[in-house]
A and B are shown apart, each in its own frame.
Chain A
């Protein structure tokens, strides 16, 4: 490596250290692709969906998240599915839930992991084939999945 200058060496190490990191994270594009897989060519409208998640999170390992959708939940018009996506975890999916008129109320609460400060998107699919969405920005101070504490 006689021809290696300090400059090319540094450029090389930067490339090596940046590339694996870039591929190990979902990106806003990956989230858009995951959403596209669910929604297809249908239009997504804002509204009807409420995504309740604290704006500032101390511990990304357990973030309380509630999704509720305004819907009569009758045989004629009900929420068929609720999907939640994220931007910067290793994978864009969070969960997919299937509902029916037997639920009476389209509301789900759970706890999720967040690897970074990011945007969360919830999408509701109605029995009529409409899609509604809501999003929330979350700031995380201690990210999930960093190290094995055990």
Chain B
């Protein structure tokens, strides 16, 4: 069960630069911490975050264990056309999550 929060405007003017914010629930276990039994807890992080606008990729970010738990990313995009903005997270142990928001570009 993944919980995702997206903050994006619902409408934008063509050519306008808008801010997109994405937050996902994930422990981002570094693989460097010992647990209560003294053994190292295995690494379990999100490795890649991508965003696409109407199917074409507009942003990509590779995470390391140094990204905080519940990774938050904010970035910008030029409003090109009406459609869907899709956010995708992939990582260790087959983790994959996807969320889309619709945007109207006038």
Contacts and interface: CB of A to CB of B under 8 A. Distances in A.
A103 B58 contact: yes
Contacts of B78: 101-104
Interface residues of A, number: 34
A96 B71 CA distance: 14
Interface stretch (A5-13, A39-47, A110-118): A110-118
A103 B60 CA distance: 11
B77 A110 contact: no
Interface string B46-77: 00000001001011111111111101111111
A145 B76 contact: no
B94 interface: no
Interface string A73-103: 0000000000000100111011111111111
A63 interface: yes
A94 B59 contact: no
Contacts of A108: 61, 73-75
B76 A148 contact: no
B80 interface: yes
Nearest to A93: B64
Given A90-B30, A98-B60, A104-B77, A110 B72 contact: yes
Contacts of A145: 30, 32-33
Interface of A: 24, 61-63, 86, 89-91, 93-114, 145-148
Interface of B: 17, 28, 30, 32-36, 41, 53, 56, 58-69, 71-78, 80
